[in-house]
């Protein structure tokens, strides 16, 4: 039993090393330009070991994106944990985007970058990307409604476009200040859409 547990733990650790290597190389160099051999080498394993965890590169890419999705939500939840008022939580989403962006060498959104490499909407990676972006929209809509926005759906789309546009523009221009300006615009949209009584509560 102990041996079996040890093997399971070692396998889990190997998987995490592979995902960490994929995260580093895919984000830095691009997915299409990165071969599985490079991922295996950085992870310190053989290609055979990599394929025992991920039968194909498509599987590795999907797992990389799922892991990125999980890491983003854990980061965001940590930022929102210190906010109580719905309006404060809504504004904290933009601050989280800015912090996450500047910590990632301004290479932009991993999901947008991946979508540019895989234009086929039926590619497994695109399904993960759609799930991630839909989750962000859903969160914004829930927070906007909770804050008392007059039209949560419209506010959500405007805030989402601000965040996504700032992420892409900041990466293209190498300008972290884009996120600062976007957060100011984000706050203005919230101010205009959320009644004072909700903002105070």
pLDDT value of residue 101: 79
For the residues 47-64, what does the mean pLDDT come to? 96
Q: Read off the pTM.
A: 0.86
Q: What digits encode the pLDDT tens for the residues 102-120?
A: 776 667 889 999 999 999 9
pLDDT value of residue 13: 96
Assigned CATH for 1-55: 1.10.10.60
Q: What is the dihedral of CA 95, 101, 104, 109, to 10 degrees?
A: 130
| Percent of the chain predicted with pLDDT > 70 | 92
Q: What digits encode the pLDDT tens for the residues 8-29?
A: 789 999 999 999 999 999 999 9
61-193 is classed CATH 1.10.357.10: yes
For the residues 189-201, what does the mean pLDDT come to? 71
Of 155, 139, 149, 38, the C-alpha closest to 97 is 139
pLDDT at 200 over 50: no
For the residues 165-177, what does the mean pLDDT come to? 85
pLDDT at 56 over 60: yes
For the chain, what are the domain ranges?
1-55, 61-193
Q: Reduce the DSSP state of residue 139 to 3 states and report it.
A: helix
pLDDT value of residue 106: 66
Contact status, residue 93 vs residue 76, Cβ threshold 8 Å = yes
């Amino acid at each position: 039993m102990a041996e079996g547990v040890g093997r399971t733990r070692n396998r889990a650790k190997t998987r995490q090393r592979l995902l960490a290597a994929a995260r580093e190389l895919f984000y830095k160099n691009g997915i299409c330009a990165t071969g599985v051999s490079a991922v295996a080498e950085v992870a310190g394993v053989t290609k055979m070991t990599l394929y025992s965890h991920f039968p194909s590169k498509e599987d590795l890419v999907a797992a990389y994106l799922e892991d990125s999705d999980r890491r983003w939500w854990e980061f965001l939840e940590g930022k929102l944990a210190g906010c109580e008022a719905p309006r404060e939580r809504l504004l904290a989403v933009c601050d989280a985007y800015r912090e996450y962006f500047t910590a990632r060498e301004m290479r932009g959104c991993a999901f947008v970058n991946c979508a540019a490499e895989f234009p086929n909407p039926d590619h497994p990676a695109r399904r993960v990307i759609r799930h991630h972006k839909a989750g962000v929209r859903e969160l914004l809509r829930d927070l906007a409604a909770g804050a008392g926005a007059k039209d949560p759906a419209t506010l959500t789309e405007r805030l989402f476009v601000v965040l996504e546009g700032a992420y892409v523009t900041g990466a293209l221009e190498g300008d972290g200040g884009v996120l600062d300006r976007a957060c100011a615009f984000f706050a203005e949209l919230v101010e205009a859409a959320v009644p004072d009584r909700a903002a105070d509560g």
